[in-house]
Structure 1
Amino acid sequence: MYRAILPEGQILCDRYEHVETGLELYNENDQFIAFVPYSNLHALLDEDVYSSDERSIM
């Protein structure tokens, strides 16, 4: 699972695809969740990063 970090919050997804101007996020059933322009994306993290250490990564 992945976590897209945006200025307004976060979006969880199971997979993503790079497209020309951003990321397309999909759930576990391969249903489209959201499009995130690269200009709004602060980070895309593997969910394991959050569960392995309780310290802040921001």
Structure 2
Amino acid sequence: MYRAILPEGQIVCERYEHAEEGIELYDDDDEFVAFVPYSTLNALIDEDAYGSDERSIM
């Protein structure tokens, strides 16, 4: 799973695809979740980067 970090919060998704102006996020049922413009995307990280530690990595 992936975590899109935005100025307003975070979106968790199963997969993503690059588009011309941003990324498209999809859930585990392959349903579209959100479009995030590159200009508002702070980071896209793999959920495994968080591990079991809940402290912020930002």
- TM bracket (short chain): over 0.9
Structure 1 residue ranges, 4+ long, deviating more than 4 angstroms after superposition: 52-55
- List runs of 5+ in structure 1 lacking aligned partners: none
Write the deviation string for residues 17-53 of structure 1: whole angstroms up to 9, x where unpaired.
Answer: 0000000000001000000000000000000000165
Which residue is equivalent to 2:12? Answer: 12
* Aligned residues between the structures: 58
In structure 2, C-alpha distance between the alignment counterparts of 1:50 and 1:36, rounded to whole Å: 21
Taking structure 1 as the reference length, the TM-score comes to 0.92
Residue ranges of structure 2 left out of the alignment (5+ in a row): none
1:44 aligns with 2:35: no
TM-score of the superposition, structure 2-length normalised? 0.92
